[in-house]
Amino acid sequence: MKIKTIAFDADDTLWVNEPYFREAEEKFASLLEDYLPAHSTLKELYKQELENLPVYGYGIKGFMLSMIETAMEITSNNLPDQMVPSIIQIGRDMLAKPVELLPGVEEVLQNLNGDYRIVLATKGDLLDQERKLNKSGLESHFHHIEIMSEKKTNDFQKLIKHLDIAPEEFLMVGNSLKSDILPVLDLGGNAIHIPFHITWVHERIEHEVEHPNFRKAEKISEVENLLAELNQ
Amino acid sequence: MKIKTIAFDADDTLWVNEPYFREAEEKFASLLEDYLPAHSTLKELYKQELENLPVYGYGIKGFMLSMIETAMEITSNNLPDQMVPSIIQIGRDMLAKPVELLPGVEEVLQNLNGDYRIVLATKGDLLDQERKLNKSGLESHFHHIEIMSEKKTNDFQKLIKHLDIAPEEFLMVGNSLKSDILPVLDLGGNAIHIPFHITWVHERIEHEVEHPNFRKAEKISEVENLLAELNQ
């Protein structure tokens, strides 16, 4: 058994996240329907978000600021009275969302615990990710929580060093090929991809991955069997 | 020598931070001078920030959102055209500030390294604290970086457990009695307080601290001598 530590991504791997962003985007676009058709507003928003990533990072607060800046852009700084309050409300509603666990999550974490050291490795806003972890009731399953500002090769290298293991003893389970899978394979680690039905454009990767340390699952309950394969 | 690990707070302990917030607050108050005198605007802003701490946490993005919400409140949602763009600009300017190290910081870190494990323990926005650490050029001095959403007794307990040491082997150095000193003493750890000339109201504690594991310094260069005392 070579794998010692299993890290799980959180958003859209353990619990629902992306649909809340999609819902928020729709509400945002409808605020601006007198100015632009929805698809153009969303295109502007995405452009603004990408531009802002290096300054605001991932998470809802940055998303709120990006919505406000997009509205400034679209209205040429002539924001109608209720625009900003409505955007703030969209963001606040997101921050108050319940945490909806994906099917099978608790059982898998329970089964793996004891045999493996279980870690949470997630991107995003510190406080908001802590809030979700807390609401999820899953906290006790994790030996270590790592909230990362980015999930690039270099970031996983630091995490693996911090966990004091070799890359081949590390398995990452997540829904984003770009953030959870490719950087880990790159380091010589193992990875299981569980696609979620919605993926943010920024996280999309079109090509298929083939690698001896890589497996693809349809749902999290398959992790145990795939793990046995990877451990051979 | 009982102390093994020394954790340093970052903002206003290693580098300048609070003056940038004061400067931003003044600019913000001047945007609203047609509505309220500056001290009343700042009072409203502080109220809003406290209310928002549980949702937005510490850091500049939350501060930006709090300024916007305060302006909404003061103008009864009739925000003049340039208000929100001006607030966003105040926040963006803060995020682009240079990192100004406090005197003696580099020397102390250099002298302690080798004899002690040096850790950074700071509150705030993940990405923004990483940005500052990066700009500071101090990153290589730290064995571990802990960016915390809060600095209460419970949070330090987790950190000390994570560092795998006993509380009496831990020393915290920081400028906030409330966030850096009292919770650590509470756990049986050691603490050195280096007051900064400006402290956010929320972090202020009026009473004096007396404790065998506690020392007060005027500047960071005193840490080495005080450490020798605490180690006796």
What would the pLDDT profile of A166-211 be if each residue is shown by its tens digit? 999 999 999 999 999 999 999 999 999 999 988 887 877 778 899 9
B23 and B127 co-located in one domain: no
Q: Enter the pTM of the model.
A: 0.94
CB contact under 8 A, B126 and A144: no
Residues of B with CB under 8 A from a CB of A: 55-57, 61-62, 64-65, 68-69, 72, 77-79, 81-82, 84-85, 88, 91-92, 95, 125-128, 130, 144, 147-149, 162
**ipTM reported for the complex surpasses 0.85:** yes
B74 and B138 co-located in one domain: no
B106 and B209 co-located in one domain: yes
Torsion angle defined by CA atoms of residues B214, B219, B224 and B227, in that order, rounded to the nearest 10 degrees:
0
A161 and A219 co-located in one domain: yes
CB contact under 8 A, A84 and B78: no
Region B69-87: what's the mean pLDDT? 96
pLDDT-derived band at B90, boundaries 50, 70, 90: very high
Number of domains in chain B: 2
Please check whether residue B172 is in contact with residue B192, taking contact to mean a CB–CB distance below 8 angstroms.
yes
pLDDT at A94 over 90: yes
A11 and A28 co-located in one domain: no
A66, A95, A124: which is the final residue of a domain? A95
pLDDT-derived band at B70, boundaries 50, 70, 90: very high
CATH of residue A186: 3.40.50.1000
Region A57-82: what's the mean pLDDT? 96
pLDDT attached to residue B10: 97
A70 and A159 co-located in one domain: no
A211 and A225 co-located in one domain: yes
B158 and B112 co-located in one domain: yes
B147 and B210 co-located in one domain: yes
CA nearest neighbour of A168 among A182, A151, A185: A185
What would the pLDDT profile of A15-56 be if each residue is shown by its tens digit? 999 999 999 999 999 999 999 999 999 999 999 999 999 999
What would the pLDDT profile of B150-189 be if each residue is shown by its tens digit? 999 999 999 999 899 999 999 999 999 999 999 999 999 9
B48, B65, B95: which is the final residue of a domain? B95
pLDDT attached to residue A115: 94
B225 and B112 co-located in one domain: yes
| Beta bridge partners of residue B172, listed in sequence order | B7, B191
Please check whether residue B67 is in contact with residue B44, taking contact to mean a CB–CB distance below 8 angstroms.
no
Query: Of A56, A88, A125, which is closest to B68 when you measure between CB atoms?
Result: A88
The two beta strands, B190-193 and A117-123, are: unpaired
For residue A154, give the amino acid letter.
Answer: N
C-alpha distances in Å from residue B116, one per residue of B3, B111, B127, B213: 8, 9, 27, 17
**The domain containing residue B25 runs over which residues?**
18-95
**Residue A227 CA to chain centroid, in angstroms?**
22
A67, A95, A123: which is the final residue of a domain? A95
pLDDT attached to residue B201: 78
pLDDT attached to residue B207: 81
C-alpha distances in Å from residue A221, one per residue of A109, A179, A195, A229: 10, 21, 13, 14
A112 and A216 co-located in one domain: yes
A203 and A120 co-located in one domain: yes
Please check whether residue A29 is in contact with residue A41, taking contact to mean a CB–CB distance below 8 angstroms.
yes
pLDDT-derived band at B206, boundaries 50, 70, 90: confident
What would the pLDDT profile of B45-59 be if each residue is shown by its tens digit? 999 999 999 999 999
